[in-house]
């Protein structure tokens, strides 16, 4: 199995989920005491979050590209970015690498299309729901993305940054997310893409009427596939 380079820390709560799922996946594939050969660069999220708010995406892209090159210098043979939102700068990161980059949105789109679906609702950070990069990438796979209205987007974003990124999981917020999912279904969504890793700490199978596509679990499978036996 090739060594995986993981760019994480955005937030560390979501990176912890990636780490667990990658190792559980390796153990399931290979049995015994096997785990994932992995190099992790976990950034300080506060400066990244400031860059997001200030619209300094190129600065963030350069920072993450440098970190990605550091992973390959340390021996990573496959690189993945453990966050949905920062896939806005995935092109910058990928173009800086000489090893494969496993793109989360492509992996998710492949699974959605494999299920025979073409229209999904998206729950994610405000940046992911509003900046268009997610919809554009999904559209290249023939998938239409529906996003909540402005009020719902603001609440979904608030819960991510003020609760989930800090490890706070609230039943009240779960109920609010269910309501948002119901409105997306009424708008025509066939399924729900959990487009922020932290959301998988809040919603699980059966929590919404719509079937869910948890992007972290999907991405982890694609990373392990890319790393190979």
Q: Give me the active site residues, please.
A: 83, 196
Q: Where are the beta strands (DSSP E) in the chain?
A: 4-8, 38-42, 78-81, 101-102, 119-123, 144-146, 191-194, 212-214
SS3 66: helix
Instruction: Give the N- to C-terminal CA distance of the chain in Å, as an integer.
Output: 4
- Sign, CA dihedral 83-188-151-59, equals positive
41 touches 64 (CB < 8 A): no
């Amino acid at each position: 199995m090739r060594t995986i380079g993981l760019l994480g820390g955005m937030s560390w709560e979501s990176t912890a989920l990636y780490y667990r799922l990658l190792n559980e996946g390796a153990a399931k594939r290979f049995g015994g005491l096997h785990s994932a050969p992995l190099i992790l660069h976990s950034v300080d999220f506060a400066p990244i979050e400031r860059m997001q708010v200030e619209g300094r995406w190129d600065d963030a892209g350069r920072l993450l590209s440098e970190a990605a090159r550091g992973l390959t210098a340390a021996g990573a043979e496959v690189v993945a970015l453990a966050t949905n939102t920062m896939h806005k700068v995935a092109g910058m990161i990928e173009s800086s690498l000489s090893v494969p980059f496993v793109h989360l949105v492509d992996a998710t789109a492949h699974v959605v299309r494999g299920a025979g679906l073409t229209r999904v609702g998206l729950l994610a950070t405000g940046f992911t729901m509003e900046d268009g990069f997610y919809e554009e990438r999904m559209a290249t796979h023939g998938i239409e993305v529906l996003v909540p209205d402005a009020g719902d987007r603001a609440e979904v974003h608030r819960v991510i940054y003020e609760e989930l990124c800090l490890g706070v999981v609230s039943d009240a917020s779960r109920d609010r997310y269910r309501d948002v999912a119901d409105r997306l279904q009424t708008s025509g969504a066939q399924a729900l893409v959990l487009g922020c890793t932290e959301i998988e700490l809040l919603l699980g199978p059966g929590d919404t009427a719509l079937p869910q596509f948890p992007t972290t679990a999907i991405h982890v499978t694609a990373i392990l596939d890319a790393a190979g036996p």
